[in-house]
């Protein structure tokens, strides 16, 4: 197969959502369609009875939530799909933000009962930063929720994106009868407790066909005709180019737990979603996927993926060229060449060794501590991919070592976990005090648990009342002077960059006003 055909064959996307919207359930239905798994895991009442396929960490299985991005590859209708299932919980938002740098499009899951929630807004902001194309799946139509037109209005208003429904529900909750496919002009009937199959799909070329009345009843058929006429008048045909520019989002309705409305969305996705896209680098250039020389970047690191083998895997997004096993590649930050004898592709916890990979693919690289998030590998060229920042944390806690005999293990654990991007580590500029910055409290629980389980290091966290972490740059003398006066608040991040921890919004604004020669940055990429 030609190199360009390999690129066109691939689609790389993430599933994003507020917690409990049904994201992991939807992910597993995709894998069922692709034949990658035979039975789905069940996540019920926040207790996993049969561990969800894409949740591999012990703490995830205990709590019934996803706290780390999982990577899965599968084939569906001659398309190779690289699917990244992200954490929904807001405390792990940073992992999700970084994952969005490695995909070409997203599917956003919205709960029909709760509508747009806080995390949904934040995720859409990150998508808008990059004009990422979005498809919306409105889930849980088999439960009583908000009316479809109200949901569309709420999503458009709250997320600041125009929508384009491609399927339309017939009722909801206990009266839910199915969805009408506006694109294919076909009806799919819903039977509670049964999985959707092709047998449930009925072609209705003409919406006025009496067969519709026969299948859903006269009242519901009349309402559907009225809705479809209105939708056709308002939305018309979907402009695929506008979707690919991130300006409009196709919408599908269904029930992921019943595998309903998922197949239609997946079929549309492989037809309209973009193939691998160009990526910007620090030289101001865009690297096209068709560029023959290999390049890619690390967007995630996970230590101890398999507790029995203490392994550490760096996830590489291939951006251009062909990645080959046992070939030397240039690690730009370290300025050295590395080769990989066992690169992996993933299906959640299971992984298999691959010989090559193409743009859009996500490859797992066994790492002995060479990689940090954002590192770039090339076939010799000297550039770094951009757009993978760390954001200012919201909660700060000081690390207290409970077992001085395990200091070495603690240092290693903190270093590796923060390399993974689980949290940010700040060390006092002129001392040893270590402070962890996170987006949410649950991250501290995960760090404490993993330090003990994986490194044998026991820690406590003491809450600190800082408002924000700001990276500082500017006039060298002014910065030295600022450090002298603000010594207790000056830290260094993992890369040795200076960081100012502000006690409050007022303090921060005062310092910004009083120090015009110093720039205060709210993310690490400036």
**Residue 338's pLDDT is what?**
92
Fold of the domain spanning 279-378: Rossmann fold (3.40.50)
| Contact status, residue 362 vs residue 71, Cβ threshold 8 Å | yes
**Residue 372's pLDDT is what?**
84
Q: Where in the chain is the domain with CATH 3.30.70.3280?
A: 395-521
Q: How far apart are CA 360 and CA 193, in angstroms?
A: 37
Fold of the domain spanning 3-272: Rossmann fold (3.40.50)
Give the residue among 460, 481, 464, 375 at the shortest CA–CA distance from 426.
464
**Residue 87's pLDDT is what?**
65
pLDDT tens per residue, range 90-147: 555 667 777 888 899 999 999 998 888 887 887 888 788 788 999 999 999 989 988 9
Residue by residue, DSSP assigns 473-511 as EE-HHHHHHHHHHTGGGEEE-TTS-EEEEESSHHHHHHH
In this structure, what token pair is assigned to residue 33?
């369609």
| Contact status, residue 30 vs residue 54, Cβ threshold 8 Å | no
Indicate the Cα dihedral angle 320, 132, 167, 161, nearest 10°.
-170
Q: Where in the chain is the domain with CATH 3.40.50.300?
A: 3-272, 279-378
**Residue 199's pLDDT is what?**
55
**Residue 99's pLDDT is what?**
81
Token look-up 């910055």 returns 437
Q: Max Cα separation, the chain?
A: 82
**Residue 50's pLDDT is what?**
38
Per-10-residue mean pLDDT for the chain, 526 residues long?
82 87 84 66 35 50 49 85 73 70 92 86 81 94 91 93 93 89 84 58 78 87 91 89 94 90 90 92 89 92 59 86 93 92 69 84 85 89 82 89 92 85 85 86 85 91 93 92 91 90 94 94 77
Q: Is 414 exposed, middle or buried (0-12, 13-18, 19+ CB in 10 A)?
A: buried
In the DSSP assignment, the letter for residue 523 is B
Residues 6+ away with beta carbon under 8 Å from 161:
124, 128, 134, 155, 246, 247, 248, 249
pTM: 0.79
Fold of the domain spanning 395-521: Alpha-Beta Plaits (3.30.70)
**Residue 310's pLDDT is what?**
55
Going 384 to 385 to 386 to 388, the CA torsion angle's sign is: negative
Going 435 to 438 to 440 to 445, the CA torsion angle's sign is: negative
């Amino acid at each position: 197969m030609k190199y360009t055909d390999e690129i066109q064959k691939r689609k790389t996307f993430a599933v994003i959502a507020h917690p409990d919207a049904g994201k992991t359930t939807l992910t597993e239905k995709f894998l069922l369609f692709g034949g990658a798994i035979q039975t789905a895991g069940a996540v019920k009442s926040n207790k996993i009875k049969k561990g969800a396929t894409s949740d591999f960490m012990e703490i995830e299985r205990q709590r019934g939530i996803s706290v780390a991005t999982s990577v899965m590859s599968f084939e569906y209708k001659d398309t190779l799909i690289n699917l990244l299932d992200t954490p929904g919980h807001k405390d792990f938002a940073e992992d999700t933000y970084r994952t969005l740098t490695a995909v070409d499009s997203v599917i956003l899951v919205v709960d029909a009962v709760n509508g747009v929630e806080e995390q949904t807004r934040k995720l859409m902001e990150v998508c808008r930063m990059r004009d990422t194309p979005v498809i919306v799946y409105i889930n849980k139509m088999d439960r009583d929720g908000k009316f479809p037109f109200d949901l569309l209005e709420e999503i458009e208003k709250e997320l600041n994106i125009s929508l384009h429904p491609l399927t339309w529900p017939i009722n909801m909750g206990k009266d839910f009868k199915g969805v009408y496919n506006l694109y294919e002009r076909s009806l799919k009937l819903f039977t509670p407790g049964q999985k959707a199959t092709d047998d449930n799909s009925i072609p209705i070329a003409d919406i006025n066909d009496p067969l519709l009345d026969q299948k859903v009843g006269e009242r519901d058929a009349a309402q559907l005709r009225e809705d479809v006429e209105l939708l056709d008048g308002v939305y018309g045909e979907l402009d695929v180019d506008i979707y690919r520019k991130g300006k409009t989002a196709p919408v599908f309705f269904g029930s992921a737990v019943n595998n309903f409305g998922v197949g239609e969305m997946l079929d549309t996705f492989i037809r309209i979603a973009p193939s691998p896209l160009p990526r910007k680098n620090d030289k101001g250039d865009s690297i096209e996927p068709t560029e023959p020389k290999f390049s890619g970047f690390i967007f995630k690191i996970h230590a101890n993926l398999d507790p029995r083998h203490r392994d550490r895997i760096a996830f590489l997004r291939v951006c251009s060229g062909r990645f080959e096993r046992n070939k030397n590649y240039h690690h730009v930050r370290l300025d050295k060449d590395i080769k990989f004898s066992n690169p992996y592709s993933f299906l959640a916890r299971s992984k298999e060794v691959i010989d090559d990979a193409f743009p859009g693919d996500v490859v797992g690289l066994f790492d002995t501590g060479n990689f940090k998030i954002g590192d770039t590998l090339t076939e010799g060229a000297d550039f770094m991919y951009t757009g993978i920042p760390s954001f200012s944390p919201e909660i700060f806690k000081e690390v207290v070592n409970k077992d001085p005999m395990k200091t070495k293990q603690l240092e290693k654990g903190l270093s590796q976990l923060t390399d993974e991007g689980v949290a940010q580590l700040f060390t006092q500029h002129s001392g040893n005090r270590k402070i962890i910055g996170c987006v949410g409290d649950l991250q501290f629980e995960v760090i404490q648990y993993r330090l003990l389980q994986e490194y044998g290091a026991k820690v406590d966290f003491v809450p600190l009342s800082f408002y924000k972490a700001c990276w500082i740059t500017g006039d060298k003398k002014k910065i030295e002077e600022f450090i002298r006066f603000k010594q207790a608040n000056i830290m260094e991040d993992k890369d040795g960059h200076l960081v100012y921890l502000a006690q409050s919004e007022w303090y921060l604004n005062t310092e910004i006003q009083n120090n015009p020669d110093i720039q205060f940055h709210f993310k690490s990429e400036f």
